[in-house]
């Protein structure tokens, strides 16, 4: 860890110390989006159980992947916003 820290310092990267409010905001965002992702997982399993058509299953899985990517992107942007807030 010390070598990595020194390497980061040499590269000009300074670690950002988060305030308690920022940490709480990040934790809240992560909690909310982990619940949304779990809900998407449950919905996927339910939809897959209802169909046996391979083409329809593929469409359902592609929709799930898009939804998961969207939720992850939203979560990352909100976490970044919480970290940059003062």
Give the confidence band of 86 by pLDDT, cuts at 50, 70, 90.
low
Q: pTM value?
A: 0.80
Q: Hey, what are 83's tokens?
A: 């970290």
The model's pLDDT over 25-84, given as tens digits with 9 standing for 90+, comes to 999 999 999 999 999 999 999 999 999 999 999 999 999 999 999 999 999 999 999 998
42 close to 64: Cβ distance less than 8 angstroms: no
Residue 85, pLDDT score: 83
Give 30-36 contacts, CB < 8 A, sequence gap 24+: 30/75, 30/79, 33/71, 33/72, 33/74, 33/75, 33/78, 36/71
Count CA atoms closer than 13 A to 65's CA, side-chain side.
Answer: 6
């Amino acid at each position: 860890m010390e070598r990595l820290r020194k390497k980061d310092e040499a590269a000009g990267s300074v670690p950002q110390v988060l305030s308690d409010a920022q940490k709480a905001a990040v934790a809240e965002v992560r909690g909310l989006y982990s619940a949304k992702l779990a809900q998407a997982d449950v919905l996927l399993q339910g939809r897959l159980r209802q169909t046996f058509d391979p083409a329809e299953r593929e469409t359902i899985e592609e929709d799930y992947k898009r939804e998961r990517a969207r939720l992850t992107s939203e979560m990352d942007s909100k976490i970044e916003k919480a970290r940059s807030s003062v």
